[in-house]
Amino acid sequence: MNRLYHYPLSPFSRKVRLSLAEKRIEVELVEERYWEQDADFLRRNPAGKVPVLRMGGRTMADSTAICEYLEETQPSPALLPRDADARYEVRRLVAWFDDKFYAEVTQKLMGERVFRKVMGTGYPDSANVKAGAKAIKYHLDYMHWLLDQRRWLAGDEMSLADFAAAAHLSCLDYVSDVDWNRSEIVKDWYAKIKSRPAFRSILADQIPGFPQPAHYNDLDF
């Protein structure tokens, strides 16, 4: 049985979960409190990060490397286009969300409001929270600009770029940190991607101490 070591509110874990589910690859989910640096987990990934996928006798780390491996070994349905220019745009946006969005928004909002409590590392830094709340407006505006020209973030077909963005936003949405009223276009995009069967297990996530907001798994939010 394939096994994914993950944490429910890790956007990188969610990106891989979405890819696996979209490709209908069955996997056992094993919740990993990676910050505890368990010796068995460190043997699977010395970097000490989730996700880690055990599949076909291989142990794989790094969410983007995993997703690209899945794309090469299970190419249907495709999450990367065939055209080189189009593939570049998908990869650019995956990096945008996993690097820039994560550093400026996810890490500052989730990191302070959720992970400090979960990991027991003290109280939120209000300056970081304020910076994250300001930065997400810029990113939502950028997504609005992209989606005003395209059906999906990277082009006319749904891609790994959409899953990367949705993974981060769904984590933030779990703690009500997304102003969906800022852009009707972005809200419609999220409702569309959230309604996919691949999203079902993510919408069922329950984090002790952090109840789901009323709208979280409402497909008509």
pLDDT of 171-218, one tens digit each?
999 999 999 999 999 999 999 999 999 999 999 999 988 899 988 988
Task: Please tell me the distance from the alpha carbon of residue 136 to that of residue 134, in angstroms, as a whole number.
Answer: 6
On the question of pLDDT at 39 being above 90, the answer is yes
Residue 95 burial by Cβ neighbours in a 10 Å radius (0-12, 13-18, 19+)? middle
Mean pLDDT on 121-145: 97
Mean pLDDT for the chain overall: 96
What pTM was computed for the model?
A: 0.97
pLDDT above 70 coverage of the chain, percent: 100
Cβ-Cβ contacts under 8 Å for 39 (sequence gap 6 or more): none
Quote the DSSP letter at residue 153: S
pLDDT band at 219 (very low <50, low <70, confident <90, very high): confident
Our CA angle for 191, 61, 117, nearest 5°, is 65
Mean pLDDT of 66-94: 98
